[in-house]
Amino acid sequence: MRLNLVLVTLLLRTLSGPAHAEEATTKTITLTDIQAAQLLILNDRLDDAKRVLEQVLAAKPDDSEAQFLLATIAVARKDYDTAISLFRRILAHDPPTERVRLELARAFFLKGDYDNADRQFRFARAGDIDDAVKANIDRFLSAINRLRQWTFNFSLALAPDTNQNAATSASQVSIFGLPFVLDKAARKQSGIGVAGAIGGEWSPILGDNLKARLGADFYRVEYSGGQFDDMTLSGYGGPQLLFDNWDLSVLATGFKRWFANQEYVSGAGAKLAADYGITSNWLVGAAFGGQSVTNRFIPEQSGPLWSAQTQLAYVLSPSSLFQLQLGFNRQDAQIGAYSYSGVWLGGGYSQDLPFGFSAGFQPAFFMTRYDDMLPAFAKTRSDDTVMLAFTLLNRRLDYHGFTPRFSYVFSEQHSNIPIYSFTRNQFQIGITSVF
C-alpha cells in the first residue's frame, strides 16, 4: 500500500508552510506506509499516523516497524500499557533488539514500574550501543534507585509434587541399633497442591540520600488433607543509604512458619545488606545477618542463626543474564547434635528466546555438617543436597502484567543417616508477575 497523492500534498503543505504551498502542490512523491506514518508522527499528526499503521497491521499483523511506531504513539499519549504490550510483541519475535528494549524500559519508567524499567534498561545497556546512550541509561538507573517506592510480586500455580513432605522413601530404619518400620506418614508422600506467593516493598524517600524500606513476603502451599501444608510470613524494615553507584541497608527482620497449619518455627533479628553496581552491567550484592530462632516442634533446635551471602549478576547481552550466589549459615542450637554449619553455592542463567519464550536454569549445591553425634543413630549427621531448577514462561501471553509460567525443581539429598535422604520432583504450572 502507498500513501495517496492528496495526503502527500497535504503533508508537503504542512512542512513547506503557506509561502510555498503553491509550489508544494505541484510535487508528487511516493512514500511507503511506514515512511508516511513517520512523517505524520514528526508533524504531530498522531491520529492520521495511527490510522495508517492500523491498516499496515491489518494486512501484516507481525510488522515490527508498524508495531514500534504505534507504540511510540501510545507513549506520546501516555497510554503506557498499550505501548508496553506492543514493545513486548516485538521482543517476542526478536529478543536482542536494543532499540526496542530502550523504548520498553522508558515506557515502564514513565508508567512508574521501576522494577521492570530497571531490568529492561540493563538488558539494553548490554547491547551494541555507544557510550552516550550508555551514559543516558546510567542516569535512568540512578534515578530509578532513588525514585522506586513500590515493588510488588505475585504468583499462583498448581503444584504437583512427588515428595511433598521431603521424606525418605525407605520403609525401615535403624535406631539405637535396632530395626524399626517407618509409619507411612513419615515416608515419602506424593500429591498435588496449590502454591501461591505475594510480596512487596514500600521505600519512601526521606532525604537526598536516605530512604526507608518496609517489606513483607507471604508464601503458602496447600495440599489435600492439610497435613503437609506449608506457610511462611516474613518481613523487614529499616533505613537505606544511597550513594552514587551503591547503597547500604540496615534492616530489622522477622519470620514465622507454619507446617500442617500449626506453628513450626519463628525468628527475629537484623541484617546488613549492600548493593554495588547500580549503573553497570555488573551488580554485586552482599548481606550479613542474625536471628534468634524458636522451634515449636523440636525446642532443642532453637538458638541463634547467623547467615552471610553474596551474589553477582551480569547482563551478558540484551537477552541473557548470568547469576552466581555463595552463602554460609551457622545454627547454634541448644544441643550440639542439632547445631550445624552450612555452605551453599548457586548459579543461574536466563535467556529470552524467539516466539516470546524465556527460559532459566538455576543449579545449587548445599553442604551441611552437624557438630555432634545423634545418639539414636550413633552418627554425626552430614548432608549434601543438589537442586536443579528450570523455568519457562511466555512473555507474549501477557494479561495486565501477568504471564503463564512453568517451573520444575529436582532435589536430591544424600545423608549419612538414611532417614534424612530423599529425592523430590516439584512442578508448578501457573502465572507470575515477575518477568
372-404 pLDDT per residue, tens: 999 888 899 999 999 999 999 987 777 777 889
Domain 151-432: homologous superfamily in CATH: monomeric porin ompg (2.40.160.40)
| Confidence check: pLDDT of 10 > 50 | no
Q: Can you give the pLDDT at residue 115?
A: 86
Q: Can you give the pLDDT at residue 174?
A: 64
Give the C-alpha separation, 420 to 169, whole Å: 10
- pLDDT classification of 225: cutoffs 50, 70, 90: confident
| Confidence check: pLDDT of 265 > 70 | yes
Buried b or exposed e, range 302-334, using 16+ CB within 10 angstroms: bbebebbbebbbbbebbbbbebebebebebbbe
Buried b or exposed e, range 387-426, using 16+ CB within 10 angstroms: bebebebbbeebeebbbbbebebebebebebebbbbebeb
* 3-state SS class at 320: strand
* 3-state SS class at 346: strand
**pLDDT > 90 fraction of the chain, expressed in percent and rounded:** 55
Tens-place pLDDT, residues 41-69: 888 898 889 999 989 989 898 888 999 99
CATH 1.25.40.10 placement within the chain: 5-147
CATH 2.40.160.40 placement within the chain: 151-432
Phi, psi dihedrals of residue 188, rounded to the nearest 5°: -50, 130
* 3-state SS class at 105: helix
Q: Can you give the pLDDT at residue 161?
A: 92
pTM value is 0.79
CB-based contact 403:392 (threshold 8 Å): no
Give the C-alpha separation, 237 to 239, whole Å: 7
Class of domain 5-147: mainly alpha
In this predicted model, which residue has the larger pLDDT, 23 or 194? 194
Q: Can you give the pLDDT at residue 250?
A: 98
| Confidence check: pLDDT of 20 > 80 | no
